[in-house]
Amino acid sequence: GAGVSQSPSNKVTEKGKDVELRCDPISGHTALYWYRQRLGQGLEFLIYFQGNSAPDKSGLPSDRFSAERTGESVSTLTIQRTQQEDSAVYLCASSLGLRGAETQYFGPGTRLLVL
């Protein structure tokens, strides 16, 4: 079946503009995660959804970052007033959501460059 998909693949924007990143999880996966990966660094947890609820937003770096999920499916990560330090790959993952420590399946990521 289809894996996790993300769009756009690449996004170049100007400092101060807003961007929206989209994630389509694997069908039937109730858990969805957003991570950020800066060049040469490990993955940084941003937010976790179980269904449409986000019980853990602790990883969001600032109030410029927000995320929502609808229909227990698609999720959107929004970055307002982008800054150059927001440049990174934003990865989305999904899992069945039945228990902790499940295998997470990653999408190909959105490469964001803020000029």
Partner 1 sequence: RKEVEQDPGPFNVPEGATVAFNCTYSNSASQSFFWYRQDCRKEPKLLMSVYSSGNEDGRFTAQLNRASQYISLLIRDSKLSDSATYLCVVNRNDYKLSFGAGTTVTVRA
Minimum CB separation from partner 1 for residue 16, in Å?
27
Selected range binding partner 1 among 15-23, 31-39, 61-69, 73-81, rule: CB under 8 A? 31-39
64 binds partner 1 (CB under 8 A): no
Residue among 20, 1, 23 at smallest CA distance from 91: 23
Minimum CB separation from partner 1 for residue 103, in Å?
5
13 or 108: CB nearest partner 1? 108
**Of residues 45, 68, 85, 113, which one binds partner 1 by CB under 8 A?**
45
Minimum CB separation from partner 1 for residue 51, in Å?
12
Give the x-and-dash track for 96-115 against partner 1 (CB under 8 A): ----xxxxx-xxxx------
Residue among 69, 70, 106 at smallest CA distance from 91: 106
- The separation between the first and the last C-alpha atoms of the chain, rounded to the nearest angstrom, is 37
Contacts of 43 (CB under 8 A, 6+ apart): 35, 36, 37, 91
**How is residue 13 written in tokens?**
């924007």
Chain contacts with partner 1 (rule: CB under 8 A): 31, 33, 35, 40-43, 45, 48, 50, 56, 91, 95, 100-104, 106-109
